[in-house]
Structure 1
Amino acid sequence: MPYVLLSCAIASEIAATSAMKYSEGFTRLAPSLVTVCGYLFAFYMLSLTLKSMSVGTAYAIWSGAGTAVIAVIGMLFMGETMTAAKFAGIALIIGGVVLVNMGGATR
């Protein structure tokens, strides 16, 4: 169950961050509301996850997955370019999350 809650937190954070791009500095109401509500829901889901998962593991997965997916979304849908540095950065993020999880963190 904690991974389902964590997946909801990640999806909500990704939606909120994507909406933030379209809020134009919080001057557009609908994307601004999606951003605020999305982050509130993401943090709530993350807090529920922390009841049964270590904070280091949960946060590594949450932040790493969110960062990597947002970088890919930016390249695919927001006109950002793929560079070798960005590709390496995403690979390092994924590798870092794997290493944190292999560290055997317990509650």
Structure 2
Amino acid sequence: MSWNYAYLIVAIIFEVLATTALKETHGFTRLVPSLATVVGYALAFYFLSLTLRSMPVGIVYALWCGAGIILITAIGWIWFRQSLDLPAVVGMGFIMLGVGVINLFSKTLVH
């Protein structure tokens, strides 16, 4: 695995942690989740910027968003007990398929 993918994975993890904490800020009225949100997003964008030094912005953003959507949805379902209906599950499947197609077949990625 190249450093680009390692940076991207770290960026995704920080973005997911920050978004999860964002729900707990209650409109930025709670200090610890608010700090976790700000620091998490700052680190996410820092590591995303490292990825963008050598990978195309459109592809990186698609991978970052797709993975983030899937992970945040899973956290919402497991942690916050948010329900998913069939169209949501099918949509998530399409997102995962799209991320897979980009990773497996796109010639625009640096492998």
TM above 0.5, one fold? yes
Taking structure 1 as the reference length, the TM-score comes to: 0.92
Runs of 5+ unmatched residues, structure 1: none
SS at match of 1:46: helix
Cα distance in 2 for partners of 1:76, 1:86 equals 15
Structure 1 residue 106: Cα displacement = 4.7
Cα distance in 1 for partners of 2:81, 2:109 equals 40
Matched residue, 2:34:
32
Question: Equivalent pairs: percent with the same residue?
Answer: 44
Contact 1:56 1:105 (8 Å CA) reproduced = no
Larger deviation, residues 97-106 vs 35-44: 97-106
Matched residue, 1:71:
73
1:96 and 1:13, CA in 2 relative to 1: closer, same or farther beyond 3 A? same
Taking structure 2 as the reference length, the TM-score comes to: 0.89
Structure 1 residue runs of 4+, over 3 Å off?
none
Cα distance in 2 for partners of 1:91, 1:104 equals 23
